Structure 1
Amino acid sequence: MGYRVAMALAAQGLLCMVLLFPLLVLGVPTEEPTSREAVASRPRGYCRRCCDSEDPLTLADEADMSSASPSALLYVLPEVRPYINITILKGDKGDRGLLGSPGKLGREGPQGERGPQGAKGAKGQAGSPGGPCRMRFSAFSVGRKTALHSSEDFQTLLFDTVFVNPDGHFNLATGHFVAPLSGLYFFSLNVHSWNFKETYVHIMHNEQAAVILYAQPSDRSIMQSQSVMLALGPGDRVWVRLFKRERENAIYSDDVDTYITFSGHLIKPEED
């Protein structure tokens, strides 16, 4: 029984020596010196850790502790104060930064529903009076029921039948169409040739031949046609003439059927 008690006390003493060995080797931290003399007074081998208490033991206390028993050293350790991490403290609110560059436009959203109908607006003011009504059309179509042999070098082709001449722009007495306004006009001429006789006819623009209708002499009479588009000004004349050369010039028609026709109309008036 005495042997077991002795072994327990020896184990307890050995454990205390192991726990206190770092303190015996490194020494107990002391108070920070405030002058060169205090630093010089420190014993060699003195070391102070940054985590030690700000109130270490004095040298006198350290001398007393050197003679104290290991178990007594457990009750004179410096007081440990709480550590405050200043990095987690919140500072003052900073100034507002510069405005960044605008981002990219987003995708176009779906079309919304149609809104309700708005209130009816007020009636507007009356406009200024318009100009006088201008004629914006012209047309004619005439024919001839009798044959014609040219008796001179140039002979005007006259017509005796009116199909269309609402505004009287074609003059039957002279055989001339007189343009009422500037614009583009279309004209067409149809004649029937005479057996064994030459057919030589001009569509005239004022005093100039615009196009020709021609058929050589033949033992068979045939229908011939010609058309042209002309730019006319107000008062310009368009008419038909026979042109006699070495041969006799003639066109055929009779009282039953109309073999000769001359027509024209305004396509596009000139812009103001």
Structure 2
Amino acid sequence: MLAVCKVVVLFSNILLLVGQNSARAQNRVDVLRGQQCTQVCNTQAQSGACSYTFVVPKNERDSSCQSSPSAQILTEMKRDVKKTSDKTNRLRHQFSRYREDRQLWSANMHKDMVNATAMMEIRSLEQDVKVKNLEIQLLNQTLELERLKGKNRELEEVVVMSEFELIQLRGVRQTVDHLNEVVTTLQTRLNEVSQLLTGQLQEMLGGQLGIRPPGGFPPPPGAFSAQPQSAFSAARQTKMYGSIPPQRIGFDKIFVNEGGDFHSGNGTFVTRVPGVYFFTFTIQSYDGKFANIALVQNGKEQVTLYTEDDDRNIMQSQSIMLHLATNDKVWLQLDGGTHHAILSFHDNRITFSGYLVYAKLS
């Protein structure tokens, strides 16, 4: 807008200058006409008023006409017209150059605007490409999330089935333990009845036939005429991790099991002979795990052995004497939770032993 205003002002100046020069030339022509008229009137000596009729002198080289001021005025007019024409041409040239500069500037501005528009379009396309890439990544992540959700549902179903199977296995295990205890009790009763019947049969045969072995017949087991025997010593050769709920510690190596009162599978001692018993056990802790072991009598904890979650393996022992009645049960129990564990190898670092101190027959 500023450039247009400048062009208008320049053009107005040119028109004003041309108008001024034209007016000045017209004034001088009018003066020249008056002077020529006066000269003609004087030279021809005509009477009457002077008219504007131009009379050409007979002798063009008349000294009176050459020396008249009209020739000077005409010369000045030509010179002024030439100056005006030169100035007009110069202004026209400046205007033409300005117009060319203006056109060049407009062309450069148009080119810059085209370049800027092209750059903006390129950036817009780049942004569109980035947005499309982000949309593709989001879609891929959504698909991956859906796949992981499906996998998670499958794992949850597996966990539920595993927990259900674990519950069933625990129920079966408890049933098997109960059946083992029943079988052990029945076996013990059967042995006692068999020994009693054998003694009675021997007594009957001895009384009827008069036959007695040297030293006499051994007393029947039910009479407890001799000191009963009950002792065991077992070891575990593998490590064991805690679980929920707490579980009994089983043993896989038997050193002594006099009377068959100790069941290594579930690590349970079942009293066959009532009396006072001595028990002792040794445990080695696991690296970075707690060890909380309890000696349990009929579901009640009697003594415990405890170690912190130290990086070193620690071995500890615990002992106790208990008064047990017939069919009382004693076992070792590892506390619940995966942060509990005990360690053993083939060198038998976990042991459990017990024996009858004296029987209580009454």
TM-score calculated relative to the size of structure 1: 0.50
As a proportion of its length, which structure holds more helix? 2
TM-score calculated relative to the size of structure 2: 0.38
Q: Larger RCO: Structure 1 or Structure 2 (Cα < 8 Å, ≥ 6 residues apart)?
A: 1
